[in-house]
Amino acid sequence: MAGQRVEVDGGILEGVNLAVSLPLQFYKYHKMWGYRPQHLSGLEMIRDLCDGQLEGAAIGSTEVTFTPEKIKGGIHTADTKTAGSVCLLMQVSMPCVLFAASPSELHLKGGTNAEMAPQIDYTVMVFKPIVEKFGFNFNCDIKMRGYYPKGGGEVIVRMSPVTQLNPINLTDRGSVTKIYGRAFVAGVLPFKVAKDMAAAAVRCIRKEIRDLYVNIQPVQEPKDQAFGNGNGIIIIAETSTGCLFAGSSLGKRGVNADKVGIDAAEMLLANLRHGGTVDEFLQDQLIIFMALANGVSRIKTGPVTLHTQTAIHFAEQLAKAKFTVKKSEDEEDSSKDTYIIECQGIGMRNPNL
């Protein structure tokens, strides 16, 4: 891959290592808007991880040239200096450090619970246990939670490199066995808001699922572990085969607590109706790992999102992985909008191990 130059949708990547160039291109941005603080921070961290060169990277940039070298691992910091999502920083860095020469410790600063991005609770409670099925482990230590508009959160991610990633097969849904979650308030917001979010969510879920206990814990975030004011809720459904689904919502000025709880509950219920084994937010996050893995991976999903379609496009273009997306032929899925995403991974090997 030496000397490879890739230009897609206004962005240019020029590099030598798929483990770096592929996740960078997966970074979500729109060429009309350009890079936001979390995008720029992620680019700079990847540059430092591999002693690379980065040209044209600035807030608002729509074109960047990146030339990576050997991924070395080590301790690195990325700070959005805003409420930009630390989870997006984690998304762009994780596929890279998996193929580093040594273990990595990433200090990610910004918003832990931000709009238009996974909440850190989703990353820990849903993304982590599922993505680790590819054959690696990581530790996510939440040092400080940070909320819109100030951010101020910090998460430390520790992980060791692997030789190769294993393929996964997530096609057996099983039955829902547990529903649980947390409704939180931080800063000056009263604890009653957390209790009201939880109670409204439980009432909404019980209209559709009556035979399971729904355990949503209201939480007052400790003042020494949260920066600023915020509230939100995440609800997880776990199945007999280990599948995980989530619904979440964040509070906003002028939106009452009941609506926040109901929005999260309705999101979870929608993800349970489609018959897939992953929710709408996890499906696109798995694509890059399927592309890099050694063998055939299969996941069953509900409607294929635009994020997933975009991720597949770039994986096929940059990594030359082969994807197929077909309607599920299982009899139980015949009346549902359910799909099988299959990928022949490229078997990326870590040249450092």
Residue 119 marked as a ligand binder: no
Decide: helix, strand or coil at residue 228.
coil
Q: How far apart are the first and last CA of the chain?
A: 18
Residue 309 marked as a ligand binder: no
Q: Edge-to-edge strands of the sheet including 244-250?
A: 214-220, 176-186, 230-239, 244-250
DSSP percent split of the chain into helix, strand, coil, nearest 5 = 30, 30, 40
User: Which of the following is catalytic: 39, 76, 107, 307?
Assistant: 307
Between CA 88 and CA 78 the distance in angstroms is: 11
Between CA 264 and CA 247 the distance in angstroms is: 5
Q: Which residues of 82-94 are buried (b: 16+ CB within 10 A; e: fewer)?
A: bbbbbbbbbbbbb
Residue 134 marked as a ligand binder: no
CA distances from 287 to 68, 121, 134, 171, 282 (A): 22, 21, 12, 15, 9
274: annotated active-site residue: no
Residue 281 marked as a ligand binder: yes
Residue 225 marked as a ligand binder: no
Residue 224 marked as a ligand binder: no
**Binding site listing for ATP:** 91, 281-285
Hey, which residues are catalytic here?
Answer: 307
